[in-house]
Amino acid sequence: MTTNLLDYDLEGLVAFCEQLGEKRFRATQLFRWIHQKGASDFEQMTDLAKSLREKLKTSACIQGPKVVSRHESTDGTIKWLFDVGAGDVIETVFIPEADRGTLCISSQAGCAVGCRFCSTGHQGFSRNLTTGEIVSQLWFAEHFLREHLARKNRQDRVISNVVMMGMGEPLQNYAQLLPALKVMLDDHAYGLSRRRVTVSTSGVVPMMDRLGKDCPVALAVSLHAPNDALRDNLVPLNKKYPIEELLEACTRYQAAAPRDFITFEYCMLDGVNDQPEHARQLVSLMQTHAARGLSCKFNLIPFNPFPASGLKRSEMQQVAAFAKILMDAGIVTTIRKTRGDDIDAACGQLAGDVQDRTSVDRRMAAQRQGMLGGIKVVVLKGLSQ
């Protein structure tokens, strides 16, 4: 059984190399080969002694993700599906813009939180991704894109930002997430600044505190409702960590990451959480917490509908009116623009095709009958930015 070196941050790799009787600087060299050059074959690493390369060949590997499919939008957005074994498939999305390239990464196969408006939530939880499976999404995409864009005579440094906004709740997979974040920030690997790596959470309060201490990257909090009654219904985790506790944790987080702000994500659901009254409640909530030191901005997300949700996307006028109430109160607010519309459509088809096989009810029925088989494909959340 060989060890996948994508599972290690630099300290982990140093420990692994020490077991092989190698010094720290060898681990750094190896780390750079893997992450900066995208090497997957030890023979490429010509500045490592032949004896070390031989040792590595028998004890280690650099195992990237298995690609199921790649969809490219005319606007440059690229979406990959990766097979992570046992029928689980995850998604990774690259979103290019004039001044940056953002990679949206998954942290779990499925998700246990079960938000009503989220297709991953409807699918249920399968398992946590390993550090290697999280890192390998970046490793693969960065080196694929370098090659791909170089061929099109475009730039060679591609991914400038990472957002943990794919499938899963990253803070319910903290032990695997933390080394992955360290790899993203490490100057010997991707060297991303901590403000360019965003963890998005539905509000796992104790883990927000730990992240603030261990690795205070940018934080996005999926709020979606201005009061507990509504949030309990949309984001079930709210019953455990209600809004007041969540906002206090946000304020503590900011103490760990001075000069930063928290981004609140708010998915606009027609007739559910998009009324002027909801915006006014948010303003009052934010004003109370601003007085205690919270600084924030809002990102309003047009809902990407899927049949099982029974929910509809808010009209654009409604979203604009909602944004105006927040902005008039001095809250910086953006409306997320949808990207990759044309492959979104393909996604919708895939989702429709797959939903039958993945809905929790059907899966449970199949399990009861002992007839579950084949690949379980996730329902995609859509490409918004």
For the CB of residue 115, give the shortest distance to ligand SAH in the complex, in Å.
Answer: 6
Number of residue whose CB is nearest ligand SF4: 121
For the CB of residue 115, give the shortest distance to ligand SF4 in the complex, in Å.
Answer: 3
For the CB of residue 376, give the shortest distance to ligand SF4 in the complex, in Å.
Answer: 16
* 382 interacts with, out of ligand SAH, ligand SF4, none, CB within 5 to 8 A per kind: ligand SAH
Among 12, 94, 382, 385, binds ligand SAH (CB under 6 A): 382
* Strand ranges in the chain using DSSP code E only, listed in sequence order: 3-4, 60-61, 66-72, 78-83, 89-96, 101-104, 108-110, 125-128, 161-164, 197-201, 218-222, 262-268, 296-302, 332-335
Contact 107, 173 (CB under 8 A): yes
Pick between residue 121 and residue 216 the one whose CB is nearest to ligand SF4.
121
Among 142, 169, 274, 344, binds ligand SAH (CB under 6 A): 169
Q: Where do we find the tokens 């979104």?
A: 344
The verdict on 130 binding ligand SAH (CB under 6 A) reads no
> Under DSSP, is residue 321 helix (H, G, I), strand (E, B) or coil?
helix
**Could you give phi then psi for residue 327, rounded to 5 degrees?**
-70, -40
The verdict on 118 binding ligand SAH (CB under 6 A) reads yes
Site for ligand SF4 in 206-225 (CB under 6 A): 222
* 114 interacts with, out of ligand SAH, ligand SF4, none, CB within 5 to 8 A per kind: ligand SF4
Among 78, 81, 84, 113, binds ligand SF4 (CB under 6 A): 113
In sequence order, the 6+-apart residues with CB closer than 8 A to the CB of 373 are: none
How far is 379 from 117, CA to CA, in rounded Å?
Answer: 12
How many helices (DSSP H) and strands (DSSP E) are in the chain?
Answer: 13, 14
Count of residues that interact with ligand SF4, criterion CB under 6 A = 11
Among 92, 123, 222, 385, binds ligand SAH (CB under 6 A): 222
Positions annotated as catalytic residues are: 91, 347
How far is 297 from 382, CA to CA, in rounded Å?
Answer: 22
For the CB of residue 155, give the shortest distance to ligand SAH in the complex, in Å.
Answer: 27
Site for ligand SAH in 202-221 (CB under 6 A): 202
Pick between residue 27 and residue 113 the one whose CB is nearest to ligand SAH.
113
Count of residues that interact with ligand SAH, criterion CB under 6 A = 16
How far is 318 from 190, CA to CA, in rounded Å?
Answer: 40
* 177 interacts with, out of ligand SF4, ligand SAH, none, CB within 5 to 8 A per kind: none
Site for ligand SAH in 176-205 (CB under 6 A): 200-202
Partners of residue 266 on adjacent β-strands: 300
The verdict on 202 binding ligand SF4 (CB under 6 A) reads yes
The verdict on 381 binding ligand SAH (CB under 6 A) reads yes
Pick between residue 168 and residue 179 the one whose CB is nearest to ligand SF4.
168
How far is 248 from 255, CA to CA, in rounded Å?
Answer: 11
For the CB of residue 156, give the shortest distance to ligand SF4 in the complex, in Å.
Answer: 32
The verdict on 203 binding ligand SF4 (CB under 6 A) reads no
For the CB of residue 162, give the shortest distance to ligand SF4 in the complex, in Å.
Answer: 16
Which of these ranges, 52-60, 176-184, 287-295, 298-306, lies near ligand SAH under the rule CB under 6 A? 298-306
Contact 219, 257 (CB under 8 A): yes
Contact 186, 31 (CB under 8 A): yes
Among 6, 111, 323, 379, binds ligand SF4 (CB under 6 A): 111
- The contact pattern for ligand SF4, residues 160-179, with x = CB under 6 A and - = no contact, is --------xx----------
For the CB of residue 174, give the shortest distance to ligand SF4 in the complex, in Å.
Answer: 14
- Tokens matching residue 329: 């109160």
How far is 117 from 112, CA to CA, in rounded Å?
Answer: 14
How far is 5 from 42, CA to CA, in rounded Å?
Answer: 11
Partners of residue 214 on adjacent β-strands: none
Instruction: Report the b/e string of 83-99 with b at 16+ CB within 10 A.
Output: bbeebbbbbbbbbbeee
